[in-house]
């Protein structure tokens, strides 16, 4: 539609120019309304975004603690053992 208007318009024809101008103004207004709705949505849901960020941070911290719980404990060459990835084992004297 826009291509047809632009190609059929002649700069000397004022009626065609006003039609083209009206079309451009309509497109600009539609874009502005869409942008305003997007901004309004983000402003209204800003608290939700911060809550999501906090939840992700807490989950990351919990995952870090879970990985620390899987650390190896014990002595080399002793009878003590530890867990690796949840699997327990024991050492032997050499």
- Kindly report, residue by residue over 13-37, the tens digit of the pLDDT: 555 667 777 888 888 888 999 999 8
Count structural domains, the chain. Answer: 1
pLDDT tens track for 53-76? 777 888 888 877 765 555 555 555
Domain with 48, as residue range(s), is 41-67
* Residue 17 confidence (pLDDT): 64
Mean pLDDT for 33-51 is 81
Residue 9 lies in a domain: no
Q: Of 6, 34, 37, give the one whose Cα is nearest residue 19.
A: 6
pTM to 2 decimal places? 0.33
Residue 10 lies in a domain: no
Number of Cβ within a 10 Å radius of residue 27: 11
Determine whether 16 is exposed, middle or buried from the number of CB atoms within 10 Å of its CB (0-12, 13-18, 19+).
middle
Indicate if the pLDDT at residue 1 is higher than 60: no
Task: Produce one character per residue of 58-87: b if its CB has 16 or more CB atoms within 10 Å, e if not.
Answer: eeeeeeeeeeeeeeeeeeeeeeeeeeeeee
């Amino acid at each position: 539609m826009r291509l047809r208007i632009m190609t059929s318009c002649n700069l000397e024809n004022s009626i065609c120019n006003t039609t083209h101008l009206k079309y451009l103004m309509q497109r600009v207004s539609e874009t502005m309304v869409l942008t305003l709705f997007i901004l309004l949505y983000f402003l209204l849901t800003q608290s939700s975004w911060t809550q999501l960020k906090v939840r992700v941070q807490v989950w990351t911290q919990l995952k870090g603690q879970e990985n620390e719980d899987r650390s190896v404990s014990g002595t080399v060459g002793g009878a003590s053992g530890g867990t690796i990835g949840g699997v327990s084992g024991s050492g032997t004297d050499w």
